[in-house]
Amino acid sequence: MNRTLTQKILQKHLVEGELKPGNPIGIRIDQTLTQDATGTTAFLLFEMMNAGRVKADVSVSYVDHNTAQFGPENHNDHLYLQSIAAKSGAWHSRPGNGICHQVHLERFAKPGETLLGSDSHTPTCGGIGMLAIGAGGLDVAVAMGGGPFYLTCPKVVGVELTGKLNEWVSSKDVILKLLSILTTKGNVDCIVEYFGPGVKTLSVPQRATMTNMGAELGVTTSVFSSDELTHIFLDAQDRGKDFIPLCADLGAEYDRVIPINLSEIEPMAACPSSPDQIQPVKDIAGLKVGQVLIGSCTNSSFTDLMLVAEVLRGKQIDAMVEFGVAPGSRQVLEMLARNGALADMIAAGARILESACGPCIGQGFSPGDGVVSLRTFNRNFAGRTGTKGDMCYLVSPETAVASAIMGEITDPRNLRQLMGIKYPKIKMPREFLIDDSMLIPPLSGAEAGEVQVLRGPTIAVPESPQPLPGELHGQTLLKCGDKITTDHIMPAGTFLKYRSNVPQYSKYVFNSFNEEGKPTVAQRALAIKALGRYGIVVAGESYGQGSSREHAALCPMYLGIRAVLAKSIERIHKANLINFAIVPIEFADPADYDKISTGDDLVIPELLTAIQGRDAVQIQNKTTGTAITGKLILSQRDRNILLNAGLLNYTKIKASRR
């Protein structure tokens, strides 16, 4: 059989199950990554598992999200992470060293290996030919302890690239084009594999932009082959020894093929407020912009920022535009500083931010009311900038810099005519600047014994779920619509600093649904809990889009929410719900969604019996007297986890039986 690249990597790592789309499978994980916003919980859970030292080949704990340090919380987390990494045998990437995905691509990613990361953009490393998957922190903690990662064997969607990108068009425009085709929903349990003659025209950072933003499609991951350009990139990172050539067999069979001719791609934009609201830039050109931000794990590589700097050299950004640049890593920042490109950007009016997630996760640079913000980032969910009613557009660095100069959305292909600016051809450096001094290597077992783990007073050990009841008496805490993201469920921005304190963070569950002067969703959930009943969330399609944050399950669980009834649920979030013993139920008939309102009393009479072995579960709406059938789309392992009060408890029970 002619195999896809995905099948080859999966086969090599398969430890359980059969490689047939839809089957539950378990794979060995070679590398893991965590970041501070999810990593504190992941490491606290890792400690609770008593798994000893890290057993994955490479585990890196990054600090990149929570670096603003208003109050002691962030620094307490950093100190905990540095000490627990030392204790447990993980690498530690210090704050300032860069965004996890960019640094991992530069310094650790290896073609043909598997990576599991507690961040949804972990697929970035698919740009180097790695099978890189985002997951909840608890799943990553299990993989750090040497356990397999369980997933549904994916279908493989082949994206056949032909042609070559034109000047001023970038790989960001290609992934935006793909988002316009596949949208952000309906792609669960698929992997996107890029193939075809167009692949060799894209550098590793360009590929990584596409695999990064593949997360917005809701696919398990995206992957490119590993070829001569991969070799050149690894050589330039002084990691040539990590190279292996890898590609699909000729005539490999994909479940679906989407052809994309790179020569036909034009500058694209994702309009407010979803990454799949795509329009060609030329159709929205002329719209006044008040803020332009370059950075995030999608578009902050050395080549991206060199292009921006070259365009800006000798120019000024528009007087009404606030212009920020956050380089993806310390390597990128230092190289720009040494070659003068940073000075060009500063001279043009750029405000330089540290190498971190920053504004991408609402840590500063919230736009003013009514201000159009153009960003090279990957997500523009409503309110993610920190401003209610924000108008955030996602574009390529080319479009961003052109618009910053012109003060309005500008098709970068017009820059020559408008400003006499020629397209700068940016070369990949033959050697990147290698300085790993902000990466602390793992300690030996003996040295680690001496380390004291620093757990500051703002860090709270998360609570474990209680066993599920045989018959669930609940109330609809909230009925929400389609495409509810994890940002809606557990907001980031100014609340991000409470990530390592579940009781505190849970106060902001579904914060965007709270109304002035009325009890918050969290207060209502606690009131239901006080009556000895359970909260139930009812939702439309694609519930739990976006991030991997397990707090979107952990905090609701803490407030007594034990079931989600939705038209469909996204992969990572569904796994997180199961891990924290919240039952994910899908409507057998989506029209039944209309039979429930917020506040309705719902009873699930045979919940445990159904979890034990049925695919359907009956739900009685006591308020309206109607009955609803729900689907339980669960593997045997999912059922075991739910029946044993969550993954942590299940892992402990399994370990005690060994």
Q: Where in the sequence numbering do the catalytic residues fall?
A: 64-65, 119, 379, 547, 549
- H/E element holding 111? none
Q: What DSSP assignment string belongs to 119-150? A: STTGGGGGGGT-EEEE--HHHHHHHHTT--EE
Return the range that interacts with ligand SF4 (CB under 6 A); candidates 200-208, 357-365, 389-397, 605-613: 357-365
- Residue 99 site contact among ligand SF4, ligand MIC, none (CB < 5 to 8 Å, cut-off depends on kind): ligand SF4
Binding status of residue 216 toward ligand MIC by CB under 6 A: no
**Span 82-121, contacts to ligand MIC by CB under 6 A:** 119-121
Residue 121-160 contact track with ligand SF4, rule CB under 6 A, x = bound:
x---------------------------------------
- Residue 296 site contact among ligand SF4, ligand MIC, none (CB < 5 to 8 Å, cut-off depends on kind): ligand SF4
- Pick the closer one to ligand MIC by CB: 207 or 549: 549
Query: CA 53, CA 44: separation in Å to the nearest integer?
Result: 13
Binding status of residue 506 toward ligand MIC by CB under 6 A: no
Residues with Cβ within 8 Å of 608's Cβ and at least 6 positions away in sequence, in order, are 468, 469, 470, 643
Residue 57-96 contact track with ligand SF4, rule CB under 6 A, x = bound:
--------x-------------------------------
Separation of CA 231 from chain center? 27
Which residues are bridge partners to 536 per DSSP?
A: 476, 563
β-pairing, 58-62 vs 91-93, is: parallel
Shortest distance, CB of residue 360 to ligand SF4, whole angstroms? 3
Residues with Cβ within 8 Å of 373's Cβ and at least 6 positions away in sequence, in order, are 289, 290, 291, 292, 293, 367, 385, 390, 391, 392, 393
- Pick the closer one to ligand MIC by CB: 65 or 92: 65
Contact residue for ligand SF4 among 269, 292, 297, 539 (CB under 6 A): 297
Contact residue for ligand MIC among 301, 547, 568, 644 (CB under 6 A): 547
Which residues are bridge partners to 604 per DSSP?
A: 472
Query: CA 538, CA 599: separation in Å to the nearest integer?
Result: 11
- Pick the closer one to ligand SF4 by CB: 423 or 495: 495
Q: Shortest CA distance to 528 belongs to which of 583, 601, 620?
A: 601
**Span 372-401, contacts to ligand MIC by CB under 6 A:** 379
- Pick the closer one to ligand MIC by CB: 542 or 548: 548
Return the range that interacts with ligand MIC (CB under 6 A); candidates 162-170, 186-194, 522-530, 540-548: 540-548
- Pick the closer one to ligand SF4 by CB: 152 or 331: 331
- Pick the closer one to ligand MIC by CB: 148 or 358: 358
β-pairing, 391-394 vs 372-375, is: parallel
Contact residue for ligand MIC among 199, 361, 525, 647 (CB under 6 A): 361
Shortest distance, CB of residue 381 to ligand MIC, whole angstroms? 9
Binding status of residue 357 toward ligand SF4 by CB under 6 A: yes
Contact residue for ligand SF4 among 141, 360, 382, 509 (CB under 6 A): 360
- Residue 548 site contact among ligand SF4, ligand MIC, none (CB < 5 to 8 Å, cut-off depends on kind): ligand MIC
- Asked if residues 360 and 386 have their Cβ atoms less than 8 Å apart, the reply is no
- Asked if residues 506 and 522 have their Cβ atoms less than 8 Å apart, the reply is yes
**Span 377-406, contacts to ligand SF4 by CB under 6 A:** 378
Q: Is 230 helix (H, G, I), strand (E, B) or coil?
A: helix
- Pick the closer one to ligand MIC by CB: 41 or 237: 41
Query: CA 404, CA 420: separation in Å to the nearest integer?
Result: 15
Q: How many residues bind ligand MIC (CB under 6 A)?
A: 14
Contact residue for ligand MIC among 92, 155, 549, 571 (CB under 6 A): 549
Q: Rounded to 5 degrees, what angle do the CA atoms 178, 633, 181 make?
A: 10
Residue 17-46 contact track with ligand MIC, rule CB under 6 A, x = bound:
--------------------xx--------
Q: How many CB atoms are closer than 10 A to CB 356?
A: 29
- Residue 363 site contact among ligand SF4, ligand MIC, none (CB < 5 to 8 Å, cut-off depends on kind): none
Return the range that interacts with ligand MIC (CB under 6 A); candidates 107-115, 184-192, 227-235, 545-553: 545-553
Q: Shortest CA distance to 73 belongs to which of 501, 555, 506?
A: 501
Residue 117-146 contact track with ligand MIC, rule CB under 6 A, x = bound:
--xxx------------x------------
Instruction: List the end-to-end C-alpha distance of the chain, in Å, as a whole number.
Output: 38
Q: Two tokens at 310?
A: 């070259």
Shortest distance, CB of residue 621 to ligand SF4, whole angstroms? 38
Query: CA 114, CA 32: separation in Å to the nearest integer?
Result: 8
Residue 200: C-alpha distances to residues 163, 230, 247, 564 (Å): 10, 10, 12, 44
Residue 310-349 contact track with ligand SF4, rule CB under 6 A, x = bound:
----------------------------------------
Q: Rounded to 5 degrees, what angle do the CA atoms 421, 426, 428 make?
A: 175
Shortest distance, CB of residue 35 to ligand SF4, whole angstroms? 7
List the alpha helices (DSSP H) in 531-657: 551-558, 571-579, 607-613, 636-643, 647-657
Q: How many helices (H) and strands (E) does the chain have?
A: 23, 27
Q: What DSSP assignment string belongs to 325-341? A: E--SBHHHHHHHHHHTH
Query: CA 404, CA 321: separation in Å to the nearest integer?
Result: 6
Q: How many residues bind ligand SF4 (CB under 6 A)?
A: 10
Shortest distance, CB of residue 375 to ligand SF4, whole angstroms? 10
Q: Which residues contact ligand SF4 (rule: CB under 6 A)?
A: 65, 99, 119, 121, 296-297, 357, 360-361, 378
Q: Which residues contact ligand MIC (rule: CB under 6 A)?
A: 37-38, 65, 119-121, 134, 361, 379, 492, 546-549
